[in-house]
Chains A and B, each alone.
Chain A
Amino acid sequence: MSSAALPVPQGIKTVGTVTVAEPVFSCRDVNVYYGDKHAIKGVNIDIARKQVLAMIGPSGCGKSTFLRCLNRMNDTILGARVEGQIALEGQDIHEKRQDVVQLRARVGMVFQKPNPFPKSIYENVAYGPRIHGLAADRGELDDIVNSSLRRAGLWEEVKDRLNQPGTSLSGGQQQRLCIARTIAVNPEVILMDEPCSALDPIATARIEDLIDELRESYAICIVTHSMQQAARVSQRTAYFHLGDLVEVGETDKIFTNPRAKLTEDYITGRFG
């Protein structure tokens, strides 16, 4: 699969390079409104394969809102309106023939608070493959669950208690279960909305290691409040401010040598 980046409109304010070669996602002039509130203001950005893109910015800057545009989770919010082009592999996800169920199978999401279903550990991971009919028989399903839990680094801890409820795990384990659940449907992109904000430092470190491993297979977008985390796990960073995408660039450069004044103020801790 390959797709070219969409053309970037003239005169955008974003500093840095918003395009990448052969992007998974190509977003152009994306606007989001919650009722009268203009939450995202003309954002242009591409998302690269096999790379982690970190979205940072002060609270209420629209980074989570933008993330939720990518798998159309904003559809479920009353009064939310998304405009602009968001192309997944060159195909606009807002097109009529785009099936939102298919889209979400291709673009998985991990949430801020671990949200395992009220089912067993096994059934939590098997849920996605089941509703998408990915396994022909029980054996295949077992394989999917097994490999997903392994890749999420949870297998050794839960292999003897797959039938216990998912909620019986610790917070960090629950979050890795949610990641296993997401990769079980073999998505192309994984969206993570502050996946470590409810976890302690040790669990956070495990998730960060996991993100680094998953990068070899998936495009990952992570929203985070922790600049250290962004610096540790991402290759590219986008800085949002009050609904504007202020600056995009390689993580190393953004944190050592930000070009926009707002970015500099934020990462040097002048506000946030």
Chain B
Amino acid sequence: MTPSVLLLAIVALSLIAFQVGRARALASVGGLRGVRNLHSLPGHYGLLTALWCGIPALLLALIWWSAQDQVLINLVAAELPADLRNLDPASFSLFLNDVRNVVAGNIPADQVSTETAGAASHYLRLRTISQWSIAVMALSAGVIALLIVRSRIRPEFRARNRVERLIEGLLFLCSTLAVLTTIGIVLSVVFESIRFFNIVPLTDFLFGTQWSPQMAIRADQVGSSGAFGAVPLFAGTLLISAIAMCVAVPIGLFSAIYLAEYAPYKLRGIVKPLLEVLAGVPTVVYGFFAVTTIGPLLRGWGVELGLDVSGESALAAGLVMGIMIIPFVSSLADDMITAVPQSLRDGAYALGATRSETIRQVVLRAALPGIVGGVLLAISRAIGETMIVVMAAGLAANLTANPLEAVTTVTVQIVTLLVGDQEFDSPKTLAAFALGLMLFLVTLLLNVIALYVVRKYREQYE
């Protein structure tokens, strides 16, 4: 019985359990006319029986499946001839890999040695047994649970409350999984970063102005000292983010004001979704646009003005990133502006304020905390944005404030450090984790501040 068939069987068993529980509950009060004597609705009894039947069966199956391969491989290995078992660990694990590949059908069985083919067929035999036994175990667990719950169903049995509690438990489990995953990612980044800081001192990383992460592979290699000063990267990130915000904040804010306060109803209905489409454009397309259109354009203008504009400039990347963030800023600002109660506008109008006075002095004033929060969120997005800068900003770690030069950013360096074949214990690759950790801390801080500001504002009017 393959896993998918077993899953279907568990679902089917649960459906049966639903009917059994429901029928039992009805029978205990003498049919549909007696429903008022039941503590809960018949469906609750059915649902409770189904959940109690399905969940243990499913859990059992999941645990078994996650351990199955390891157990089977060990069994197969134990049965192998002695000369194979006495191979050195590397060759032995290679052999076991071959067995796995044959089992998965990646290598035809007639192209491998007879030992491998034999082990593979042994594995397959064991797997069939294993799958049948788990099927029997899971389904019988389900049936036993079903019978236990069924035997406990009486009119005063509080099925509704128990279903509620079970559902709450399931929801809690899902949210815990999400949180645990996040914690896991953070921890792995932290531990890798600690390994990095064991090789490169924290102060060198934070305050060094030289970034050249090439390390010598052999001791006699020249020209690859490996310098891990992150200042140029953060400076580049800041420069590009600043340019992006210079584009996104005014345009986004003003378009939000226009859409929320001035635009006719119909126009708003068309323009707002269109603006949000802009947010759906994949960032790689923006990057493409930056490299093929904006970069050369700026370079051309630079030549005419007698300026030396690099083909991959901070300006091009920042401009395009700003365009990318416009819908983000405008949609958040629009929400904040429309959340300002109409009564405030009426109050200003009734005093004889004009529309622009009302907007500037009353509406924006009331929406300001929310808009500031939105802008902070936008900044943290700009800092974490990768694709556009990878394509348009360049790789040279220049420490400069000149937007016409090529700079590089934290995200770009992480990408270049990890692209291609890498060994995961050299400072070069570990540096990526340290950069990632820094990036994470900065955006986390910005998000916390932004959410705090936004929430504080929201409380005011709800």
Report A's interface with B, CB cutoff 8 A.
71, 73, 76, 78, 100-105, 108-109, 111, 113, 115-119, 127-128, 131-132, 167, 178, 181-182, 185
Least CB distance, B349 to chain A, in whole angstroms:
6
Tell me the minimal C-beta distance from B34 to chain A in angstroms.
Answer: 47
Contacts of A111 in B (CB 8 A): 343, 346-347, 350
Specify which of B349, B352, B365, B460 is in contact with A117 (CB 8 Å cutoff): B365
Of B349, B353, B354, B362, the residue contacting A73 (CB under 8 A) is B349
Q: Which of A101, A119, A167, A178 contacts B352 (CB 8 A)?
A: A101
CB B456 to nearest CB in A, in angstroms, measures 13
By a CB distance below 8 angstroms, the chain B residues around A113 are 343
How distant is B160 from chain A, measured CB to nearest CB, in Å?
Answer: 40
CB distance from A149 to the nearest CB of B (A): 16
Binding site for A on B (CB under 8 A): 265, 341, 343-354, 357, 361-362, 365-366, 460
Q: What are some 18 contacts across the A-B interface (CB < 8 A)?
A: A73-B350, A76-B345, A76-B346, A76-B349, A101-B352, A101-B353, A104-B350, A105-B352, A109-B346, A111-B346, A111-B347, A117-B344, A117-B361, A117-B365, A127-B353, A128-B352, A132-B352, A185-B351
Which residues of the partner chain A approach B351 to less than 8 Å between Cβ atoms? 104-105, 108, 127-128, 131, 181-182, 185
Smallest beta-carbon distance B338→chain A, Å: 15
B94 CB to nearest A CB, Å: 71
Residues of A within 8 A of B365 (CB): 117-119
> Closest CB of chain B to A241's CB: distance in Å?
26
CB <8 Å contact, A115 and B343:
yes
Decide: A71 near B265, CB < 8 A? Known: A111-B343, A118-B365, A119-B365.
no
Judging by beta carbons under 8 Å apart, are B353 and A131 in contact? Answer: yes
Task: Report the nearest B residue to A101, measured CB to CB.
Answer: B352
5 tightest A-B contacts by CB? A109-B350, A104-B352, A115-B343, A105-B352, A115-B347
A232–B208 alpha-carbon span in the complex (Å): 79
User: Shortest CB–CB separation between residue A170 and chain B, in angstroms?
Assistant: 16
Shortest C-beta distance, A169 to chain B (Å), equals: 14
Q: Give the distance to chain B from A146, nearest Cβ to Cβ, in Å.
A: 18
CB contacts (< 8 Å) of A182 on chain B: these are: 350-351
Name the distance in Å between B291's Cβ and chain A's nearest Cβ: 45
Q: Which residues of B contact A103 (CB under 8 A)?
A: 352
What's the minimum C-beta distance from A67 to chain B, rounded to whole angstroms?
A: 11
User: What are the residues of chain B within 8 A of A181 when measuring CB–CB?
Assistant: 347, 351
Chain B residues near A73 (CB-CB < 8 A): 346, 349-350
A-side contacts of B366, CB under 8 Å = 117-118
Among B347, B352, B460, contact of A102 (Cβ-Cβ < 8 Å): B352
CB distance from B391 to the nearest CB of A (A): 43
Residue of B nearest to A119 (CB): B365
Separation in Å of the A108 CB from the closest CB of chain B?
7
In the complex, A109→B346 CA distance in Å?
A: 9
Contact call B361/A127, Cβ cutoff below 8 A? yes
Interface centre among A113, A131, A178 (most CB of B within 10 A): A131
Closest to B347 in A: A115
Q: Give every chain A residue within 8 A of B344 (Cβ-Cβ).
A: 115, 117-118
A105 to B348: give the CA distance in the assembly, Å. 11
Q: How far is the CB of B197 from chain A (nearest CB, A)?
A: 47
In the complex, which of the residues B341, B345, B352, B460 contacts A131, with contact meaning CB atoms closer than 8 Å? B352
Q: Which residues of chain B are within 8 angstroms of A116 by Cβ–Cβ distance?
A: 347
